[in-house]
Structure 1
Amino acid sequence: MTVTQPAHIDASSYDDVRAIENALATPSTALIETMSTIPGDIAVLGVGGKVGPSVAVMAKRAADEAGIDKRVIGVARFSDPASREFLEANGVECIATDLTDDAQLALLPDVDNIIYMAGHKFGTTGNESFTWSMNSYLPGRVAQRYRTSRIVAFSTLVTYPLADVTTGGSRESDPSGPIGEYAASCVGRERIFEHHSREYGTPVLLFRLGYSIETRYGVLQEIAQAVQDGSEIPLEMGHASVIWQRDVADYAIRSLTLAQSPPRRLNITGPEIVSIRWLAHRFGELLGREPRFTGQETGTAYVMDGSALQAEFGYPSTTLSTMIDAVAAWVRNNGSTLGKPTKFQQRQGQF
């Protein structure tokens, strides 16, 4: 087990968006050391989302700091020019591609390592067929195209059923139990990657991510903003699993070393199962506001056990208290948001 270096995040240093983006893409000492054990170049497919730029830029920085000549390629439609600008300014090669177009997919370069992040969640209700196409059909096309590569495929904690919060959360050995079409399509994504892994011997790691957060989005930001605004906070989903985005990016790259056939599943989350009520009261203390609630805790939630992750890589470098301080400072200063709510309160699977 190799433990990552502490993040040493000072909440007051998060004074603009570029500072956040750079902090989230700073590689740990452990990742820099690991780069020599990941032969070949790295492509991040679906790099244009919330987490993708951190992954790609961190990989490039880690390779450079390790003194390794490694291409890092970011693939997306790039509807947001700022995302591409940040990637290219940090040495990531960007290829504008519609992954759903087989001809464009075929033209992508052969790469030894794939971090697969493409998918569709919000707007699933009423557009279920597109969600299944993106989350279950497209993975098959990518798995076929890159069947000789090593693949880390992003997945989600909602492949599990709601878990009893007193038992430590869902574990990798637990059966799937998707609620709703989005979650079912994500199980489909895992099964498709598993099929191709077994068929071709492709090494795959199924990266089951809990709720990634930073100052501009995520469970903590939504609760802090609700406290700041005086909005009621629903408690039926009374607990959550969270992890800082820098740690997510770090683990995604290092997980390339864990890919195997048949695929391994790995929960990506922090060590705590966090109470929403407790979080609201803590933000209330930091923001000088009294939180307001509606409903009652049900005793079940989308929560995961991260002990297998911690056995491999150590505890996340960013502690829960550091996350809370950073988010509170950002909300207090009316910092911008990404405008992409997690809908973590959703218990019926309607995204």
Structure 2
Amino acid sequence: MNLLDKIETEMNTASDALVNDMKSLDGDIIILGVSGKIGYNLSALLMDALKKAGIEKNVYGVARFSDGNHSRDALEAIGVQTLVADFMNDASLQSLPKVKNVIFMVGYKFGSTGNESYTWALNSYLPGRVAEVFKDSRIVVFSTGCVYPLVNVEAGAPSEESMPEAIGEYAQSCLGRERIFEHFSKTNQTPVAIYRLNYAIDVRYGVLVELARNVYEGKPVDVTMGQVNVIWQPDASEMALRSLLHTTVPANVLNITGPETLSVRWLADRFGARFKKPVTIVGTEAPSALLSNASKSHELFGYPKTSIREMIEIVATWIEHEGSQLDKPTHFQEREGKY
């Protein structure tokens, strides 16, 4: 096994905590929007956990699979039963298996500026239809830390007790998604967990990948958005699956990210030291940043297994060995909510 394959295998290996939680979870599982960036990793961890637990469940992965058959074939290869569906088509939505556990990952972000009506339809209107179709299920709803405002970095990051103040139509539509699921959680007595994630780090995309590539390729690093929170994607994926055991009525809101507020300048410097390359910094750190306090989820699940220095090393190794990239920027530097 070469080094890149070893990294991928480790990313898709379930922890003992996930295995134990899956032993406690009744019912089959459906993942809506499985063809997105996190879908395969989440599915692979789930299938590995079920195998290690000696449990047989039907696991369905649903998407349009508009990128062709590659992601669908990869999911089928690990035991996921894939289904093609257009979520905005009512007959297609109604035809899906009505299982006990739902991971809802459908959303629209990049390209939302200039396409606001579709953004609202997919992010705010569709959730109401999904909530009705799966009213007898428990649902984990992927959301985003973007529903919080930029905060003064000296004042501390917002926790779930803080009121959202979404900046821009994308973030507003995501807050709409949350509110719709919260409404139907109450009216239909559907257990729901709102999963506010920022920022997941993979070897193919994410804040660390963007910073690392800039340093490796000799490009400047803008530090205007001077602080970030990050979490290793496998840790975040496991927390999403384990959140099925923490759905409640009314909906349970969980911030999902790492425990540190990280300096973008420091991260760039660490990659510079790792690559033995000079770092070019542009801009000056603004007094505010988009941050989240995830102490509530850490109380439930423990701290993420993967430390920031481990993430830096894994990402740097992947880039040095020319591992594949998605080339999908996070736009984490965006300060006006225009995606």
TM-score normalised to the size of structure 2? 0.97
1:45 aligned partner: 32
- Aligned: 1:79 with 2:66: yes
> Could you tell me which amino acid in structure 1 is paired with residue 189 of structure 2?
G
2:336 matched residue in structure 1: 348
How far off its partner does 1:85 sit?
1.4
Distance 1:90 1:167 in 2: 45
- Take 1:240 and 1:257, find their aligned partners in 2: how far apart are those partners? 28
Runs (4+) off by over 3 Å = 19-22
2:4 is aligned to: 15
Deviation by residue 1:11-45 (Cα, 9 ceiling, x = unmatched): x96425xx554332211101111112110001000
Partner Cα separation in structure 2 for residue 45 and residue 164 of structure 1: 36
Match of 2:277 in 1: 289
Alignment match, 1:154 = 142
Contact 1:160 1:175 in 2 (8 A): yes
Q: 2:12 aligns with which of 12, 25, 33?
A: 25
Q: Which amino acid aligns with 1:105?
A: L
Residues 144-169 of structure 1: CA distance to partner in whole angstroms, max 9, x if unpaired?
10011000000000000012223331
**Whole-Å Cα distance in 1 between the matches of residues 120 and 25 of structure 2?**
32
Structure 2 CA distance for aligned equivalents of residues 13 and 338 of structure 1? 21
**Whole-angstrom CA distance in 2 between matches of 1:163 and 1:227:** 27
1:298 matched to which residue of 2?
A: 286
1:65 matched to 2:66? no
SS in 2 for 1:223: helix
Uncovered stretches (5+) of structure 2, i.e. residues with no partner: none
Q: Quote the offset at 1:100 in angstroms.
A: 1.0
Pairing of 1:184-223 with structure 2 (within 5 A)? 184-223=172-211
Q: 1:319-339 CA distances to partner (integer Å, 9 max, x unpaired)?
A: 111000011112222322101
Map of 1:3 onto structure 2: none
Q: Give the match for residue 174 of structure 1.
A: 162
TM-score by length of 1: 0.94
SS of residue in 1 equivalent to 2:169: helix
CA drift at 1:187? 0.3
Aligned-residue Cα RMSD (Å) equals: 1.3
Separation of aligned partners in 2, 1:304 and 1:266: 10
Q: Please tell me whether residue 226 in structure 1 is matched to residue 242 in structure 2.
A: no
1:241-275 CA-partner distances (Å, limit 9, x unpaired): 10001001100000001000110110100111110
Q: C-alpha distance in 2, partners of 1:349/1:203? A: 30
Correspondences of 1:253-272 after superposition (within 5 Å): 253-272=241-260
- The CA distance in 1 between the partners of 2:4 and 2:12, in whole Å, is 16
Measure the CA separation in 2 of the matches of 1:302 and 1:286.
27
Where 2:157 maps in the other structure, the secondary structure is: coil
Q: How many residues align?
A: 338
Larger relative contact order (C-alpha < 8 A, sep ≥ 6)? 1
With over 3 angstroms needed to count, the CA separation of the structure-2 counterparts of 1:342 and 1:245, relative to structure 1, is: same
CA gap of 1:22–1:134, structure 2 versus 1, over 3 A, is farther
Could you tell me which residue of structure 2 aligns to residue 88 of structure 1? 76
Contact 1:25-1:249 within 8 A present in 2 as well:
no
Matched residues in 2 for 1:78 and 1:100: separation? 14
Structure 1 range deviating more: 54-63 or 41-50:
54-63
The one-letter code of the counterpart of 2:41 is S
Q: Secondary structure at the match of 1:133?
A: helix
Match of 1:138 among 126, 136, 149: 126
CA distance, structure 1, for counterparts of residue 128 and residue 285 of structure 2: 39
Structure 1 residues not aligned, in runs of 5+: 1-11
Q: Secondary structure at the match of 2:4?
A: coil
